């Protein structure tokens, strides 16, 4: 397992090429092309802000500007959910590549995660523009934590993606289960509302891994000087390392069966 994991560094050029191909293929034939990477998060922000500000009564109505608060966690959630959804079926859709003897199958879920990460990073300027518009100023001493949060999310997403993609090859129902689970997971995470509005459910929030990512993003970018969640973030980082190693172990054990099953 450790040998195969170390081999990934040798394939970094291939990963970069496949990520670039994935990004180009996504918008091939589109008039706006890569500009959709900016337009999509902008439309997402405007729609959610309109719905929860004017159509529905938000539990986070006392948090202003609500659009910025919501988007600080919604943008990384989009990266997370899109990565899991696409990575779960990546081995199946890339069956022709897997059947090639020298092709490392784990590259496919990694390519999906990294391409969605690029869209996440391209969406950050939209968030920054809204922060400037609403005069939301983060605590600059806390901003370096943003890189740590992204790294933890990347590792956590990679671990889940590896094990789900491997299981989906043998159990095709996994893709549908993931799609429905993500819908529930979204509403169970304090993204469009503040976890402080539900103090009685704190213990349930604590068991939700993405809660700690969402709150970390919110505290670093939206609540200046209030990053009290750093211990939870580091604990999740350690747990993500364990998850990634365990997921890669499972993936490595199932590797030889992929070519026959896809």
pLDDT in tens, 70-125: 889 999 999 999 999 999 988 888 767 776 656 788 888 999 999 999 889 988 98
User: What is the average pLDDT across 122-144?
Assistant: 87
pLDDT for the residue numbered 231: 92
Instruction: State the pLDDT confidence band at 7, using cuts at 50, 70 and 90.
Output: low
- Of 165, 237, 161, 229, give the one whose Cα is nearest residue 194: 229
pLDDT (tens digit per residue) in 195-236: 888 888 888 888 999 999 999 999 999 887 778 888 999 999
The model carries a pTM of: 0.85
Question: Which residue has 């729609």 as its token pair?
Answer: 47
DSSP H helical ranges for the chain: 2-7, 12-26, 36-50, 66-88, 90-93, 95-98, 107-133, 145-170, 173-187, 202-206, 209-221, 230-261
Expressed as residue numbers, the domain containing 18 is 2-261
Residue 159: its pLDDT value, please? Answer: 95
Number of domains in the chain: 1
Tell me, what's the pLDDT at 140?
A: 84
pLDDT at 198: 82
Burial class from Cβ neighbours inside 10 Å (0-12, 13-18, 19+) for residue 122 reads: middle
Name 179's Cβ contacts closer than 8 Å, sequence gap at least 6: 85
What's the pLDDT tens digit per position in 142-192?
Answer: 889 999 999 999 999 999 999 999 998 888 788 888 888 898 899 889 988
């Amino acid at each position: 397992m450790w040998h195969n994991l170390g081999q990934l560094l040798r394939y970094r050029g291939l990963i970069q090429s496949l990520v670039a191909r994935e990004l180009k293929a996504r918008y091939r034939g589109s008039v706006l092309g890569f500009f959709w990477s900016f337009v999509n998060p902008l439309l997402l922000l405007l729609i959610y802000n309109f719905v929860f500000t004017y159509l529905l009564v938000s539990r986070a109505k006392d948090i202003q500007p609500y659009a910025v608060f919501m988007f600080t966690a919604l943008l990384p959630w989009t990266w997370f959910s899109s990565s899991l959804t696409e990575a779960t079926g990546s081995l199946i859709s890339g069956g022709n590549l897997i059947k090639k003897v020298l092709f490392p199958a784990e590259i496919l879920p990694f390519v999906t995660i990294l391409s969605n990460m690029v869209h996440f990073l391209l969406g950050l300027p939209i968030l920054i523009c809204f922060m400037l518009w609403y005069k939301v100023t983060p605590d600059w001493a806390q901003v370096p934590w943003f890189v740590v949060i992204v790294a933890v999310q990347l590792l956590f997403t990679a671990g889940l993606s590896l094990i789900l993609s491997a299981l989906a090859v043998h159990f095709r129902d996994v893709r549908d289960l993931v799609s429905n689970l993500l819908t529930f997971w979204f509403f169970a995470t304090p993204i469009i509302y503040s976890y402080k509005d539900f103090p009685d459910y704190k213990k349930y929030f604590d068991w939700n891994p993405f809660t700690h990512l969402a709150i970390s993003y919110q505290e670093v970018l939206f609540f200046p000087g209030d990053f009290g969640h750093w211990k939870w973030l580091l604990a999740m980082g350690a747990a993500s390392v364990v998850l990634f190693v365990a997921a890669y172990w499972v993936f490595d054990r199932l590797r030889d069966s992929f070519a026959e099953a896809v």
